[in-house]
Structure 1
């Protein structure tokens, strides 16, 4: 082998290595987004057997989702709190989920903004701090035990933020407020037995304590938000599913809107459908007074109330369930929602700048 030939071989090898390295780097740093693949074969959907998820329950019971999804098979899974549902989304066992606003933020933050997108709202309102009669001021909570559904869920964050605002430290002792995370049915039982002074709870549990156990409402969370609106339940979708199957996401949104319209035009039947679904899923049923009170505390709509999310993100830090405020740029993708609204002759809803990544 001549010297010039050896040099030529080395140059070719070096060029090949450089090309492979450059391609590999390009693949890592600029992987193309998956193109739309048409309707999905299957949609795996999570939700709660709870009145705050009434649009999901109505959509399933009345067949609105099935009709809009067409050939796409709908597989559902029920949850009782947000953190396990977040794990299912991030783990890839769900494609979409009706979920609380705080767990939705946590899912986005945990995945560093990659895995999920908020595509619509569902429910606003429906959370209260209900307490024993005789407790009429924040200071009277010192030395008391108050329940929230689960650590870092939407109501847990709201309550702990409210405690901070009233200079009420948490812990165990005469001058402290003990926050106990409990499944909602246990809260009712322990309140009745006198082991709890109350709870910051979603519907219908706050109404159950009031109607069935004699509690009084110390705080209606609607009073803490401009216009009395804050997102209780939103619709979260895996990013790769949204990009691959936008038509399926649009079908889910149409079905949700039909459920919301049905609740507005048939309020009595919507209560019955929701109550029957909860009974079928949990074995429990709600009295008519509890149903009536719970529904009066809620409003339903696909607007995610985007402008509230920066505050909700800060609240997680204030409540001590997050160490830093997550950057929510890119959290919302309302493309399919606004297409659905436009087709129905409704105005687009805004994303408050959270549909764009920060540069």
Structure 2
């Protein structure tokens, strides 16, 4: 595992399909090559052949590849894995004739709503929205099938704020209510003795704000700080004279905690395990390449940021943000327990059993085939 920097701008939360802003609309990508995938265009006709192999993940039979997969992600450095997988063709190579349709989101809750509504099949996303999507549907909506990144989030503030005691009465932004950074901010404030609520009131006012708007508001003096993913935390430091008050890595053992996971709808996982396996094989290849080719990986990420967001990330911002994350296939499942507890404590997640949220069967199969060690689900895998 290699340490990377990275969170690309979390731009508007609406997906490409439903509309970013007219200027940012881009054609959906259709990729194809040899490997996994179905030659058929109608999923309903894509049934297993007689004598198909044994049951795989989710109980479906092998050979049920989908004609397409609609994949969500953010245009952020912390989503380097899907950006590299798309730009360098790793997903396309493994998916074969299965068409991949990317959709960009600003934050996790919006992606979860798209998954619930059936407009996407899988998405790269933060842990807290994953938990919320799982618990709000009694465990029916999704499964976490792989990790993607660790780290890459910080609380940045005005220069005259030197510690928690200076935050009383201040206005602090987060990307979206219920998102991973939103929960981290609320939990940290609560631990430091402040009362906060979801209405924006309390000792410290937490204001969910799109990342691009957060930068502009901080530059105008309308915000006192923000808990942000990369590259937005770095952008506020370099472009708005902010300083880092809390690097979230300092709050976790060995500085490791899940920032980005890959989740798949349970329906899609059950019906198309071969397609999910192809996607994960593409991810593992993309991550291996990124670790071995960091400069090329940064360029690939910026190329995709430019395509989906309309402009590239400044090189000094990218270079400063890149070392703040680590790319990994490990979902760091043990950290999810604490994140779940924090979400409940701050009132943005229902208190329900999260056992069964992981299904790492396919990931560990792919890792084993590549000669890599298996990753653990911390006892939160498929129920026996």
Whether these two folds match at TM > 0.5 is yes
| Equivalent in 183, 187, 203 of residue 176 of structure 1 | 203
3-state SS, counterpart of residue 235 of structure 1:
strand
Aligned residues: 326
Deviation by residue 1:255-277 (Cα, 9 ceiling, x = unmatched): 11122122211111211221121
Q: Does 1:264 align with 2:291?
A: yes
Deviation by residue 1:93-148 (Cα, 9 ceiling, x = unmatched): 21111011111111111111112100000011000000011211101011111110
3-state SS, counterpart of residue 128 of structure 1:
strand
Cα distance in 2 for partners of 1:162, 1:73 equals: 42
User: What does residue 16 of structure 1 align with?
Assistant: none
Q: Which runs of structure 2 are paired with 1:199-210 in the superposition (5 Å)?
A: 199-210=226-237
Between stretches 64-73 and 36-45, larger displacement belongs to 36-45
Structure 2 unaligned runs (5+)?
1-57
Cα distance in 2 for partners of 1:186, 1:104 equals: 25
| Equivalent in 234, 240, 251 of residue 278 of structure 2 | 251
Cα distance in 1 for partners of 2:217, 2:161 equals: 17
Between stretches 32-41 and 199-208, larger displacement belongs to 32-41
Q: Which runs of structure 2 are paired with 1:64-83 in the superposition (5 Å)?
A: 64-83=90-109
Cα distance in 1 for partners of 2:352, 2:293 equals: 40
Q: Contact conserved, 1:36 with 1:243, CA < 8 A, in 2?
A: no
Cα distance in 2 for partners of 1:325, 1:173 equals: 22
User: What does residue 361 of structure 2 align with?
Assistant: 335
Structure 1 unaligned runs (5+)?
1-31
Q: Larger helix proportion, structure 1 or 2?
A: 1
Q: C-alpha displacement at 1:35, in angstroms?
A: 3.8
Q: Contact conserved, 2:65 with 2:272, CA < 8 A, in 1?
A: yes
Q: Does 1:326 align with 2:352?
A: yes
Q: C-alpha displacement at 1:90, in angstroms?
A: 1.5
| Equivalent in 255, 260, 274 of residue 228 of structure 1 | 255
3-state SS, counterpart of residue 200 of structure 1:
strand
Cα distance in 2 for partners of 1:355, 1:306 equals: 10
Q: C-alpha displacement at 1:319, in angstroms?
A: 1.7
User: What does residue 376 of structure 2 align with?
Assistant: 350
User: What does residue 39 of structure 1 align with?
Assistant: 65
User: What does residue 220 of structure 2 align with?
Assistant: 193
After superposing on structure 2, the runs of 4+ consecutive aligned residues of structure 1 that deviate more than 6 Å are: 171-175
Deviation by residue 1:164-206 (Cα, 9 ceiling, x = unmatched): 0000123799982111111000111111111111100000000
Q: Contact conserved, 1:117 with 1:239, CA < 8 A, in 2?
A: yes
TM-score normalised by length of structure 1: 0.87
Structure whose CA Rg is larger: 1
| Equivalent in 312, 317, 325 of residue 339 of structure 2 | 312
TM-score normalised by length of structure 2: 0.82
Cα distance in 2 for partners of 1:241, 1:182 equals: 32
